[in-house]
């Protein structure tokens, strides 16, 4: 995903666990325009990470990636206030489209 994002022109900061992501975010919360997280990762789920980061920036844009069915995730995502959901695997074009909608559309969850 890092390579796809860089090919789309984004500056990317990566973390290998939810806790590492929280630590990086706490160091410079205004550095990040959007966070893209996997639902399943070491330390924290994507939803838990979102809650932690939003304690620092309540309106942070967050896109969740998961291999779970979008039908199963829709209700949970809407209650989490996420701006997008990408079902894995996804293409660079789908990733770019999700980011575009996150930055320029309303803040409703968009299931792809």
Q: Is residue 109 part of a domain?
A: no
Residue 6 parent element (H or E): helix 2-7
Pick the closest to residue 84 from 106, 57, 67 (CA basis): 106
Q: 18-69 pLDDT, tens per residue? A: 999 999 999 999 999 999 999 888 889 888 999 999 999 998 999 999 887 6
Show the domain range for 91.
2-104
Q: Is residue 111 part of a domain?
A: no
The CA radius of gyration of the chain, in Å to the nearest whole number, is 13
**What is the CATH classification number for the domain harbouring 67?**
3.40.50.2300
Cα separations in angstroms, 15 against 12, 24, 47, 100 = 10, 8, 16, 22
Tokens 């803040």 correspond to what residue?
Answer: 107
Predicted structure pTM score: 0.85
Q: Is residue 112 part of a domain?
A: no
Q: Is residue 47 part of a domain?
A: yes
| Mean pLDDT computed over every residue of the chain | 86
Determine if residue 67 is left, alpha or beta; phi over 0 gives left, psi from -120 to 50 gives alpha, anything else beta. alpha
41 contact partners, CB below 8 Å, separation of at least 6:
17, 18, 49
Q: Is residue 27 part of a domain?
A: yes
Q: Is residue 60 part of a domain?
A: yes
Q: Is residue 25 part of a domain?
A: yes
Estimate the crossing angle of helix 46-56 against helix 18-27, to 10 degrees: 10
Q: Is residue 72 part of a domain?
A: yes
Q: How many domains does the chain have?
A: 1
């Amino acid at each position: 995903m890092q390579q796809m994002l860089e090919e789309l022109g984004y500056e990317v900061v990566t973390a290998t666990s939810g806790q590492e992501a929280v630590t990086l975010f706490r160091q410079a919360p205004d550095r990040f325009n959007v966070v893209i997280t996997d639902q399943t990762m070491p330390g924290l789920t994507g939803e838990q990470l979102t809650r932690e980061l939003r304690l620092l920036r309540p309106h942070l844009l967050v896109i969740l990636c998961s291999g779970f069915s979008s039908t199963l995730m829709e209700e949970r995502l809407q209650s989490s206030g996420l701006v997008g959901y990408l079902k894995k695997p996804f293409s660079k074009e789908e990733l770019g489209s999700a980011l575009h909608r996150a930055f320029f559309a309303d803040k409703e969850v968009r299931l792809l």
